[in-house]
Amino acid sequence: GDSVTQMEGPVTLSEEAFLTINCTYTATGYPSLFWYVQYPGEGLQLLLKATKADDKGSNKGFEATYRKETTSFHLEKGSVQVSDSAVYFCALRRGQGAQKLVFGQGTRLTINP
């Protein structure tokens, strides 16, 4: 079945450091890929998405590129801030007709000043 695997956390970085959170997936067909973020005490929020191979999703300085050849969708940010501290979830949705999101286990990110 479909699955998403994220790098294990927690991840702790200093402010202004470069961030990479790895995400790989297994799915039939051509899924859409997502990164969701969950800030403390808040619900999941869509951070960015990509719907086809080689698409790059970007938002708030975060980027991720849909790599079909490596079945990956790694999240990157060039300079993190304390306010980026949150839990990040990679997810896929298989095709336009399918409805459910399949999530990875989440990666907790802490940014120290």
Partner 1 sequence: DTGVSQNPRHKITKRGQNVTFRCDPISEHNRLYWYRQTLGQGPEFLTYFQNEAQLEKSRLLSDRFSAERPKGSFSTLEIQRTEQGDSAMYLCASSLENRGNTEAFFGQGTRLTVV
Q: Which residues of this chain interact with partner 1, rule CB under 8 A?
A: 4, 36, 41-46, 49, 89, 91, 96-97, 99-106
Nearest approach, Cβ of residue 77 and partner 1 (Å): 20
CA 24, CA 97: separation in Å to the nearest integer?
Answer: 22
Nearest approach, Cβ of residue 43 and partner 1 (Å): 4
- Measured from the CB atom, the residue of 86 and 91 that comes closer to partner 1 is 91
Contact 80, 71 (CB under 8 A): no
- Measured from the CB atom, the residue of 7 and 101 that comes closer to partner 1 is 101
- Measured from the CB atom, the residue of 48 and 80 that comes closer to partner 1 is 48
Nearest approach, Cβ of residue 16 and partner 1 (Å): 28
- Closest alpha carbon to 50 in 22, 30, 70: 30
Q: Is the dihedral of CA 60, 37, 74, 52 positive or negative?
A: negative
